[in-house]
Amino acid sequence: MPKLPAEFAELEKYSDWCLPTEAQRYAKRLESSMADMQEFYDAAMKRLDDACVFGDKFPLDDLPEDVRSLVHLMQSLVMVSFPVEVWKQPRVPDSGAAWAELVSEPVV
């Protein structure tokens, strides 16, 4: 069964990135290869503007499940953008053991 709206069917192969929390998205980033992140980034970035326009049709506090999954997918796109565009590695360079805990999510 598809997770994403039919309008975004070509992104369905990346539905394992439809993760509801920042911690899950970060863990997925750390376990993913740069090649996998690059492929996801290239495909999803092409549809980012379309996803924003599509998502704006729905109230944030009452998203249909497939639209919620699309939002989570695009949040994952943000999660991989710095590794792909800047760092060329999944981890934040020179950060050692530092980390921050997110206490709430914009959409869950």
Domain ranges of the chain: 14-87
Q: What percent of the chain has pLDDT over 70?
A: 84
Entry pTM: 0.85
Give pLDDT tens digits for 36-56. Answer: 999 999 999 999 999 999 999
Task: Tell me what pLDDT residue 90 has.
Answer: 82
Q: Is the pLDDT of residue 83 over 60?
A: yes
What CA–CA distances, in Å, run from 33 to 38, 45, 78? 9, 18, 16
Q: Is the pLDDT of residue 27 over 70?
A: yes
Characterize 75-107 residue by residue with b for buried, 16 or more Cβ atoms within 10 angstroms of its Cβ, and e for exposed: bbbebbeebbeeeeebeeeeeeeeeeeeeeeee
